[in-house]
Amino acid sequence: MNPQLWHDVLLLPLLWPLLLALLIAVAGSGSRIQRWLPTAAVPALIVAVTLPPTSLDLPTVLLGAGLRLDPTSRPLLILTASLWLVSTVLLQRRHQPLSHHDHHRRVAVLALLAMGGTFGLALANDGIVLFAAGTLAGYALYGLLQQGTDRCARAAGRRLVILLVLSDLLVFELLLILAHAVGSTALAALQDAIRASASANVLFGLLLVGFGVKAGVLGAHLWLVPAFRSASDAVQLILITYVAAAGLFGWLALLPLGSMHWPNQGLVLIGLALATLSYAVLRAMLRTDPGDAASSLIMALSALWLCAIGLAIHDPQSAPRLTADLPLFLLHITLAFAALLLLRSRAEQRQCKGWRMTLTALMALLVALAALPFLRLGLDVEIKLGWALWWPSLGVALLAGRSVMQPRAAQDQERSLTRRSGHSRQQTLAGIGLAAGAAAVAGAAALGIAPNAVGLAWRLVPASHWSHTVLDPLTLVALISLATAFIGGWASGGRRARRPTRPQARSWSRTEGTAATGLRLLGHRLDHLARATLPAWRDAAWHGVHRLVAQRSWRTRLAFIEARLTQWDAILTILVLLGLGIAWLALSH
Amino acid sequence: MSLEAWIPLLVLCSSLLPGLMIFGLDESRVRLRTTLNLGGALTKLALVGVMFWGVSQGIEYEVRISFLPGLDLALRAGPLALLFLVLSSLLWLVTTIYAIGYLEGSPHRSRFFGFFSLCVTATVGVAMAADLLTFLLFYELLTLATYPLVVHRGTEVARRAGQVYLAYTIGGGALMLFGIVWLYTLTGTLEFTPLGFVSELDPTTHPALILIFIFLITGLGVKAALVPLHVWLPMAMVAPAPVSALLHAVAVVKAGAFGIVRVVYEVFGVEFSAGLGVTLPLAVLASITILYGSLRALFQDDLKRRLAFSTVSQVSYIVLGVAIASPIATVGGLVHLIHQGLMKITLFFCAGNLAETLGVHKVSEMNGAGQRMPWTMVAFTVGAFGMIGAPPVAGFITKWYLGLGALDAGQHWVLLVLATSSLLNAAYFLPILHAAWFREPPAQWPAERSLGRGETSRALLWPPIITAVAALLAGLLASLPFSPLEWARFIAEREFRPL
């Protein structure tokens, strides 16, 4: 085969979904082309599994774009392609009986655009492609969430788009600063710029909010929770893909882990990760909706990831051990998580405890096991602040265990299960397929080997530093801890909690007028802010503190805190405090 | 005369002659009028294509016609002129097609298309002007040619808008004339020269030069809609959609912005301007205009009015790029001349389609418009995302270069302006997209008409699709040879200083 073809083939995962989107859009309603939807992810999967490590320069695209397939990007491409393959199959099934062809067409086009975006994120070799792909995927996901009839999903979409605009703006500024410093937009050059930068606090702040929104960290999670609660199974898988590709992978792509030293910023990231995890656990414990459990689990996954990144930038010495296998970890946990979602949903629909429940439990166990290497590293005294990994690792196991029992508790809920139409044997099969993939990755990690592509010489994932074949005392302790957390989560899964009511969203009226009326209106609003809104916030804050103190039990106090944390003002307060913290760090150094 | 001298004249005549012929045509001669319109537009495009190739090979097209002792009507097509020429000739063709569909069956079409052609003649004259006097002549001709288009509908509101437009632009022209005469008395020449022609003057003339700069920029700032000289622009949106497109994307505001580019770079010279201390105030003024325009757009329910305030904001990106006085920012400013044109014309075409087909004029009436007119709204979405600066649409490239240029020049505050502007752009464009795509359409549109078999007539549908695709490709393939970005870099390297 012509060597140049190997490079050009890298374009296929991006071009095929986008071309299909164009064809479906042009072909009109009810066209047969829509049946090709499940094929959209196939080239990406083939490329991810069979293509040797390669890169492709596209000097005429954007400002000189580049794609690459390397040990870091390959697991992400496998992951995104697998999840997209399943999602598109489910989307196809879900919409087949519907007579609204236009609706199906819109969903298909948006899904394909989001798919192209996530593949772009996986393959990006320069900052502009990374940014463009993230933007495309984000806005397409917003469109997908808006296609649902569920008001909660639509609200989630609206929140996502607001946060997305902010996030993209900050990522844009970040890339601008880095590109100006090194005169290039290639990821390797941007990493050099980060390494050499004297304004670490600014860069860290931009990174944190820029990618934090997409990863659903505490403070920027407002879109993630309602999106998971109301989305269909297919869209839930797309959400996982988006969080992994746009939120988590961005850190790995931009940060030169192991050769940078940001001790304070590392601490802030660890703190945020622990807070995110605490919130996720709190939320999962207080609610029994399966969607809540899923969103909590993905937040816990984000927390674990950010904690590892935080430790790596805090202590570059231990960075290689902490981050070398992050792509493998992401592949393992997200495949297992996706399989868990599908199988649990199927078990939930059939209300059975048979083999599907067994499979669900196994998948939950697989999710929990993904945290084992981190807990093992956390117990290692050589890793500075390694204890910070305990709580996220145990949190993941706890939430995974709890998610097994979630369906039984959820059966009593008033929420109808009819929102998940289109359940089928295909869903079970897809779940089993993903489960097999996750188990293969987990097995390979356990054996300490990097699985090779079928019959080919190159490795799908980087060589693993984790070998669990030797059950040393620390691994044993980690395993026992995880098992305890998992069983604890399982045991707590049957409980029910009252879901706090949510306040009505405030509606803003649109006003038309001249400059004078516009300024007058602005004046009125500022006046209203000073005279009414700010005092009202102050009173509400005091009232909140009083009510918190007046609660009879810790359980109701926790429920109260959790309800507050879902409101905008609380989120803004957290963001402001975070900003102040970063500013304090900046000033103190 | 050589071929190089004839071609600029032919470019002028390719719209002037059809325009004069169209004036004499009866209303019923639709086919002949259409042939003249499209024939002129295609001829101009072909001639500009020839010049584009020639200039890229190092040929300069120049012609001088003496009309007063010591004063010539001088036309020259260099790289900078070509940038504006390509934009105006390309978009003229698209706008003509759109206008033919838009005005089908309406009265006074011969008058409309006659002035339309004159307007484009003036615009290409502005682009090719080799000195300030020629520039002023075509600049004023542009004012006179566009006035009848603004008042074309003949309503009281249109006449009032026309009066305001005339008052502002003629006032601006008078200031320019004053500045030009004063400058001529100091220098004895008005010839546009790379790196400027005033830098050699005695330092005692510098206060006078600052005043001349203010006169010229104020005169040009009227058409470029710099705050507080922008008032005429939102009022002029009462004109038909093709005229709005022409005003906002092709001719008038662009002529103002292009004039500022000429004055800063080829009259004063960018480094000399910075030395005089006039570029920073210009950058601040452009920033204020950017933010003010976006803020005002936020509160408009009338779609075209919202787009008009968006133009006020977006055109100042060009001025900002010039005023930052950095080569990289220059590229950003120059390339936005093309990018803003492509994106804004798309938006105005779409607004026209919505108004003509559904009777939708307000943002609050746009619920579900994407379901009724999907392709129009796809084009609108591309344009809107471009304005926000989302990649890979062309607007992203502009913002990237402006940001890099600001960092390069050490003017970090510009990043804040760009970020705030992007945020505001998103705040006034995304609600439109949300309403159009994700809200349920009303049971009945305000004034729905059936125009053709598709969502609207082909003449109305294809122009926005073509310009939207062009805006997308201008961003996606920004580094392709002869792309707007590469051409802007070529200008910056060749006419100013090496990057």
Collapsing DSSP states into helix, strand and coil, what is residue A50? Answer: helix
**A89: its two tokens:** 């199959």
Mean pLDDT confidence for A150-155: 80
Residues A280 and A417 in one domain: yes
Mean pLDDT confidence for B238-257: 88
**Residue-wise DSSP of A342-380:** HHHHHHHHHT--SHHHHHHHHHHHHHHHTTHHHHHHHH-
Q: How many domains does chain B divide into?
A: 1
Q: Give CA–CA dist B273/A532, Å, rounded.
A: 49
Candidate from A514-528, B33-47, B341-355, B473-487 with smallest mean pLDDT: A514-528
* pLDDT score, position A503: 43
* pLDDT score, position A466: 46
**A229: its two tokens:** 């609660």
Q: Give CA–CA dist A305/A298, Å, rounded.
A: 11
Letter for the amino acid at A156?
A
The β-bridge relationship of strands B71-77 and A65-69 is: unpaired
Residues A229 and A336 in one domain: no
A63 Cα to chain B: minimum distance (Å): 6
A173 Cα to chain B: minimum distance (Å): 8
Candidate from A212-226, A408-422, A476-490 with smallest mean pLDDT: A408-422
Q: Give CA–CA dist B475/B343, Å, rounded.
A: 11
A263 Cα to chain B: minimum distance (Å): 27
* pLDDT score, position A454: 45
The β-bridge relationship of strands A65-69 and A54-58 is: antiparallel
Mark yes or no for CB contact B389/A143 under 8 Å: no
**Would you say residue B498 lies in a domain?**
yes
A442, pLDDT greater than 50? yes
Q: Give CA–CA dist B77/A106, Å, rounded.
A: 47
Candidate from A216-230, A512-526, B412-426 with smallest mean pLDDT: A512-526
Q: Give CA–CA dist A481/A391, Å, rounded.
A: 11
Q: Give CA–CA dist A547/A545, Å, rounded.
A: 5
Phi/psi class of residue A183: alpha, beta or left (left: φ > 0; alpha: ψ in -120 to 50)?
left
**Would you say residue A244 lies in a domain?**
no
* pLDDT score, position B319: 95
Mean pLDDT confidence for A99-116: 84
User: Percentage of residues in chain B with pLDDT exceeding 90?
Assistant: 70
**Residue count of chain A:** 589
Closest partner residue to B400 among A64, A102, A176, by Cβ?
A: A176
Residues A9 and A81 in one domain: yes
Mean pLDDT confidence for B430-459: 88
Q: Give CA–CA dist A201/A199, Å, rounded.
A: 6
Torsion, CA A364, CA A367, CA A368, CA A369, rounded to 10: 120
**Would you say residue A25 lies in a domain?**
yes
Mean pLDDT of chain B: 91
**Would you say residue B114 lies in a domain?**
no
pTM score, whole prediction:
0.86
Residues 276-335 of chain B whose Cβ lies under 8 A from any Cβ of chain A: 295-296, 299-302
In chain B, residues with a C-beta closer than 8 Å to the C-beta of A25 are: 378
* pLDDT score, position A228: 83
User: Percentage of residues in chain A with pLDDT exceeding 70?
Assistant: 75
Q: Domain containing A465: what range?
A: 257-498
**Would you say residue B453 lies in a domain?**
yes
What is the phi/psi pair of residue A27, to 5°? Answer: -65, -20
* pLDDT score, position A243: 92
* pLDDT score, position A465: 47
Which residue in chain A is spatially nearest to B407 when comparing CA positions?
A: A180
pLDDT digits (tens, 9 = 90+) for A170-198: 999 999 999 999 999 999 999 999 999 88
* pLDDT score, position B395: 94
* pLDDT score, position A390: 86
Residues A433 and A346 in one domain: yes
Closest partner residue to A61 among B296, B437, B476, by Cβ?
A: B476
Exposure string for A119-153, b = 16+ CB within 10 A, e = fewer: bbbbbbbbbbbbbbbbbbbbbbbbbbbbbbebebb
Residues A300 and A165 in one domain: no
A433, pLDDT greater than 90? no
Q: Give CA–CA dist A493/A297, Å, rounded.
A: 14
**Would you say residue A319 lies in a domain?**
yes
* pLDDT score, position B72: 83
pLDDT digits (tens, 9 = 90+) for A492-503: 765 444 444 444
State whether the Cα torsion B430-B433-B438-B442 is positive or negative.
positive
Q: Give CA–CA dist B241/B380, Å, rounded.
A: 14
In chain A, residues with a C-beta closer than 8 Å to the C-beta of B299 are: 510-513, 518, 521
Which residues share a beta bridge with A51? none
Contact B125, B251 (CB under 8 A): no
**Would you say residue A373 lies in a domain?**
yes
Residues A340 and A459 in one domain: yes
Q: Domain containing B465: what range?
A: 338-499
pLDDT band at B142 (very low <50, low <70, confident <90, very high): very high
Q: How many domains does chain A divide into?
A: 3
Mean pLDDT of chain A: 78
Partner A contacted by B373 (CB < 8 A): no
pLDDT band at A12 (very low <50, low <70, confident <90, very high): very high
* pLDDT score, position B294: 93
Mean pLDDT confidence for A197-208: 90
**A318: its two tokens:** 């231990």
In chain A, residues with a C-beta closer than 8 Å to the C-beta of B297 are: none
| H/E run at residue B17 | helix B3-23
* pLDDT score, position A355: 66
**Would you say residue B380 lies in a domain?**
yes
**Would you say residue B136 lies in a domain?**
no
Residues A384 and A338 in one domain: yes
Mean pLDDT confidence for A71-78: 87
Query: A-B interface: how many C-beta pairs under 8 angstroms?
Result: 89
pLDDT band at A416 (very low <50, low <70, confident <90, very high): very low
Q: How far is the CA of B256 from the CAs of B134, B151, B220, in angstroms?
A: 14, 21, 5
ipTM confidence score: 0.91
Report the greatest alpha carbon distance in chain A.
76
Mark yes or no for CB contact B299/A521 under 8 Å: yes
Mark yes or no for CB contact A132/B391 under 8 Å: yes
**Would you say residue B96 lies in a domain?**
no
Mean pLDDT confidence for B423-437: 94
A270 Cα to chain B: minimum distance (Å): 29
Integer-rounded Cα radius of gyration of chain A: 23
Mean pLDDT confidence for B335-363: 94
Mean pLDDT confidence for B25-31: 86
In chain B, residues with a C-beta closer than 8 Å to the C-beta of A166 are: 423
Cβ neighbour number for residue A355 with a 10 Å cutoff: 11
A519, pLDDT greater than 80? no
**B263: its two tokens:** 């004055």
Q: Which residue, of A447, A476, A498, is where some domain finishes?
A: A498
**Would you say residue B223 lies in a domain?**
no
Candidate from A230-239, A575-584, B404-413 with smallest mean pLDDT: A575-584
Q: Which among B400, B424, B476 is the top mutation candidate for probing chain A, defined by the most A β-carbons within 10 Å of its own β-carbon?
A: B400
A352 Cα to chain B: minimum distance (Å): 37
**Would you say residue A329 lies in a domain?**
yes
Residues A164 and A281 in one domain: no
Letter for the amino acid at B71?
L
Q: Give CA–CA dist B136/B184, Å, rounded.
A: 13
pLDDT band at B42 (very low <50, low <70, confident <90, very high): very high
More confident: B291 or A197: B291
Q: Is the peptide bond before B228 cis (omega within 30 degrees of 0)?
A: yes
Mean pLDDT confidence for B469-475: 95
Residues A231 and A293 in one domain: no
In B324-412, alpha helices (H):
327-358, 369-372, 374-388, 394-408
Exposure string for A43-63, b = 16+ CB within 10 A, e = fewer: bbbebbbebeebebebeebbb
**Would you say residue B301 lies in a domain?**
no
Candidate from A319-328, A394-403, A446-455 with smallest mean pLDDT: A446-455
Residues A227 and A284 in one domain: no
B111 Cα to chain A: minimum distance (Å): 33
In chain A, residues with a C-beta closer than 8 Å to the C-beta of B480 are: 60
Q: Give CA–CA dist B78/A118, Å, rounded.
A: 43
pLDDT band at B98 (very low <50, low <70, confident <90, very high): very high
Mean pLDDT confidence for A317-324: 81
Q: Give CA–CA dist B434/B386, Å, rounded.
A: 16
Q: Which among B399, B402, B438, B472 is the top mutation candidate for probing chain A, defined by the most A β-carbons within 10 Å of its own β-carbon?
A: B438
Q: Which residue, of A498, A530, A559, is where some domain finishes?
A: A498
pLDDT band at A94 (very low <50, low <70, confident <90, very high): low
A576, pLDDT greater than 70? no
